[in-house]
């Protein structure tokens, strides 16, 4: 059964060990939540490289926001990898922003899928099909290696990742905004009722957030999301 929510996990740079959470860590997590609420999700400029048959190689660089389609009961595994703050939106939210699930492929010298993609790319490049090349790059943003190079360790397969990519059309629509900063260059905008669940590192962080001036009215208002902790998610 699929989850109703897609979760943006953050805080890897703050703390990923529940036993190490203290009041300063809690304050930083709340500051991160305030930033997301006010300005939207970061779109990080990512570089992906996947290898395939016949020495083929596909490279992609672009601004992305990544989400995990996981049951809330699996939250602890993702929080331990990406950070202890989860902000969940609906699947519809991502679809309306041209987001979708990634296609996992073998990152391996025998992978035919990557070889086929690169054959098409080189043909379009030779024909100088600029518009078609742009569309190809958009499609390639949704391809991801399921394992480390030339292994079948399936290290990334359980991420169940969805992505939203920055495109000219979504920026023109206002759903994605240019920040004028080096990092993040783009933000994925949030409406008042778009966030459906917030997962906190622990109960004390949740209590502190409920009295924080930056998010208090939102967390207690008419469009308030459900407020859970990582530990509570494990019991759902």
pLDDT in tens, 20-51: 999 999 999 999 999 999 999 999 998 889 99
Q: Across the strands, what pairs with 61? A: 47
Average pLDDT score over residue span 111-120: 95
pLDDT tens per residue, range 142-166: 999 999 999 999 999 988 999 999 9
Predicted local distance difference test score (pLDDT) of residue 79: 77
Predicted local distance difference test score (pLDDT) of residue 236: 65
| Pairing, β 176-178 against β 186-188 | antiparallel
pLDDT tens per residue, range 164-215: 999 888 999 999 999 999 999 999 999 989 999 999 999 999 999 999 999 9
Using the predicted structure, report yes or no on whether residue 55 has a pLDDT greater than 90: yes
- The pTM score is 0.91
Provide the 10 A C-beta neighbour count for residue 228. Answer: 21
Predicted local distance difference test score (pLDDT) of residue 12: 94
pLDDT tens per residue, range 89-113: 999 999 999 999 999 999 999 999 9
Q: Which 3-state string (H, E, C) describes the chain?
A: CCCCEEEEEECCCCCCCHHHCCHHHHHHHHHHHHHHHHHCEEEEEEEEEEECHHHCEEEEEEEEEEEECCCHHHHHHHHHHHCCEEEEEEHHHHHCCCCEECEEECCCCCCHHHHHHHHHHHHHHHCCCHHHHHHHHHHHCCEEECCCCCCCCCCCHHHCEEEEECCHHHHHHCCEEECCCCCCCEEECCCCCCCCEEEECCHHHHHHHHCCCCCHHHHHCCCCCEEEEHHHHCCC
């Amino acid at each position: 059964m699929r989850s109703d929510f897609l979760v943006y996990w953050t805080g890897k740079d703050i703390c990923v060990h529940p036993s190490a959470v203290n009041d300063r860590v809690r304050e930083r997590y709340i500051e991160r939540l305030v930033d997301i609420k006010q300005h939207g999700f970061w779109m990080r400029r990512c570089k992906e490289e996947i290898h395939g048959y016949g020495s083929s190689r596909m490279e992609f660089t672009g601004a992305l926001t990544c989400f995990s389609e996981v049951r809330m009961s699996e939250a602890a595994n993702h929080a331990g990898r990406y950070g202890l703050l989860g902000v969940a939106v609906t699947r519809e939210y991502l679809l309306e922003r041209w987001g979708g699930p990634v296609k996992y492929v073998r990152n391996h010298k025998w992978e035919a899928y990557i070889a086929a993609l690169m054959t098409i790319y080189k043909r379009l490049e030779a024909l100088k099909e600029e518009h078609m090349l742009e569309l190809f790059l958009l499609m390639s943003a949704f391809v991801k290696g399921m394992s480390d190079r030339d292994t079948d360790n399936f290290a990334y397969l359980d991420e169940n990742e969805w992505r939203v990519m920055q495109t000219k059309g979504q920026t023109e629509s206002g759903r994605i905004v240019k920040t004028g900063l080096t990092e993040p260059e783009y933000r994925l905008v949030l409406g008042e009722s778009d966030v459906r669940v917030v997962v906190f590192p622990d109960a004390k962080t949740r209590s502190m957030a409920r009295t924080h001036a930056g998010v208090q009215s939102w967390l207690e208002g008419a469009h308030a999301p459900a407020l859970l902790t990582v530990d509570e998610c494990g019991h759902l």
